[in-house]
Amino acid sequence: MSETTARQAIEAVWRIESARLVAGLTRVVGDLSQAEDLAQDALVVALEKWPESGVPENPGAWLMATAKHRALDLFRRSKMLDRKHQDLVRRLEAEQVSLEPELHAALDDPIGDDLLRLIFMACHPVLSVEARVALTLRLLGGLTSEEIARAFLVPVSTVQQRVVRAKRTLKESKVPFELPPPSELGERLEAVLGVVYLIFNEGYSATAGEDWVRPTLCEDALRLGRILAALEPEEPEVHGLLALMEIQASRLRARRGPGGEPILLMDQDRGRWDQLLIHRGLAALAKAESLHRPLGPYCLQAAIAACHARAKAPEETDWEAIVALYDALAQIAPSPVVELNRAVAIGMAFGPEAALVLVDELAAEPALKGYHWLPSVRGDLLAKLGRQEEARAEFERAAFLTQSLREREMLLERVRSVSI
């Protein structure tokens, strides 16, 4: 195996396995930074060995075994340090029972709720909301600081500072690796929901790289969402988030063409949508609505997704209902991105002229300065109005702004299509 091929394989494996590795090690060693160091040690060994030996049949297990060996060494050293401060003779017999089997058993346990424990640790109240979300995305999603920065529309340096400070705060505060007690669960749920959805979104529409979708991240987010729904069965927003993710995940197969190229919602073959996931999503939305409490942002977004899921063909979409749902969403969770999506819905329901007025108003919004979907939406509206040269310029700008190679190709194709 060539070094380049091995490195690409290692990067792919690391993206999938790093969160599970860090979570399992954190549970054992009780220190997040130490667990990350152990995981990184295993990665370094993989970088040394895999180019020669090849990628093992079960790379995740290989990384865990390597990290486990390092953890055992660390555990032995810790024990020896403890003995320096005790009567070695008096304690010798008591410490004859090796702690290694206990450590092995802990590392070999099924993952269970480890990823969820890691999320709640990263979302602990000692951290700011921004730090909780950034740290959890870094650990659970395996996202880079650049990807997190794009998700939050903030500078990369800001994300890096948040992550470093968050780790230091967790260590200094001796935050345990455990689920919060029931009395605290509700207070800490909002940030966790935001983290899970951002992980899902990075899988659903990757912000960078050659792949437009990363199904593994979506699967991780769905798994965490289902665990949360079991933990908080009476919380509408938990079911709303799960409904939203289930319905959106149903489109994954239809979101890519034969060559991996992006296919947008209105152009997708709806026969390829996963009906089981749609059914599960609609059931989760019905559960949220049955709790008879005001619908929050995730429930409203799930209701929008449900409008698309119920439409057998694009022309059957109830765009006026979607506009009403975006109106409600803008009231309780206002943001420039919500307004941009609302403008798209208005364009579909009432025509591109009405939508263009709203999009032009958003052009001066600082948070959208580098957001490539703004010029992309504007280009689409201009093309529908026959303003081809202006549309072409907007698609070129959008292609320049995106970090996703697949999106760039799609936008450049739009440039060519409006040049004819």
- Span 378-405, pLDDT tens digits: 999 999 999 999 999 999 999 999 988 8
Distant-in-sequence, close-in-space partners of 196: CB < 8 Å, separation ≥ 6: 119, 221, 224, 225, 228, 241, 245
Evaluate whether residue 221 is within a structural domain: no
Q: Report the domain count for the chain.
A: 2
Residue where one domain finishes, among candidates 86, 108, 130 = 108
Task: Let me know if residue 304 belongs to a domain.
Answer: no
Residue 371 resides in a domain: yes
* Residue 194 lies inside a defined structural domain of this protein: no
Q: Which of 8-12, 111-115, 167-171 has the lowest mean pLDDT?
A: 111-115
110-153, pLDDT tens digit by residue? 445 787 788 889 888 899 878 888 887 788 767 778 878 876 66
Among residues 52, 86, 108, which one ends one of the domains? 108
> Helix, strand, coil % (nearest 5) of the chain?
75, 0, 25
Is residue 40 a part of any domain in this protein? yes
- Of 81, 108, 135, the last residue of a domain is 108
b/e map of 97-131 (b: 16 or more CB within 10 Å)?
eeeeeebeeebeeeeebbbbbbbbbbbbeebeeeb
pTM confidence score: 0.72
Q: Is residue 209 part of a domain?
A: no
Nearest by Cα to 305 from 296, 293, 318: 318
pLDDT digits (tens, 9 = 90+) for 305-335: 999 999 999 999 999 999 999 999 999 999 9
Is residue 217 in some structural domain? no
Residue with tokens 């010029």: 375
What is the domain-level CATH number for residue 394?
1.25.40.10
Residue 333: domain span: 329-420
Number of other CB atoms surrounding residue 56 within 10 Å: 15
